[in-house]
Amino acid sequence: MFDFPDELSDLIQYVAGDFSVTARESKRHEFKRAFVQNDFSDYTKTLAVFGNASGGYILFGISDKPRQIVGTPEVVDEARWADRLERTCSKGLAKV
């Protein structure tokens, strides 16, 4: 497990004045404009890749062109998403 940064600037490089993101997507960072419920399967695959590597973040609220912090239209219910993720992933795991 890795620690979550205290500040956004510790997680992603951006220009404070206009919120332009200077960093690109990488092995540890995936940018999404918004959280879309129908894309949950894609998010799960991305998280699996991060989990099998050195960890990573899906950063919601970042537009693609231009790459800029724009926020999200809704607040993601983290507990609900974590429960769904656990149910989805636990189906393929053997109980020990």
How many helices, marked H, and strands, marked E, lie in the chain? 2, 4
Q: What is the pLDDT of residues 18-64, one digit of tens each?
A: 999 999 999 999 999 998 888 888 888 898 888 888 889 899 999 99
Provide the pLDDT confidence category of residue 79 given band limits of 50, 70 and 90.
Answer: confident
Under a CB-based contact definition with an 8 Å cutoff, are residues 50 and 59 in contact? no
Q: Provide the pairing of β-strand 29-32 with 57-60.
A: parallel
- For residue 32, what pLDDT is reported? 93
Q: What is the pLDDT of residues 59-78, one digit of tens each?
A: 999 999 999 999 988 877 88
Whether the model clears a pTM of 0.85, i.e. scores above it, the answer is: no
Q: Which parts of the chain fold into alpha helices (H)?
A: 40-51, 78-90
Could you give phi then psi for residue 50, rounded to 5 degrees? -60, -40
Cross-strand pairs, 69: 62
Cross-strand pairs, 59: 31
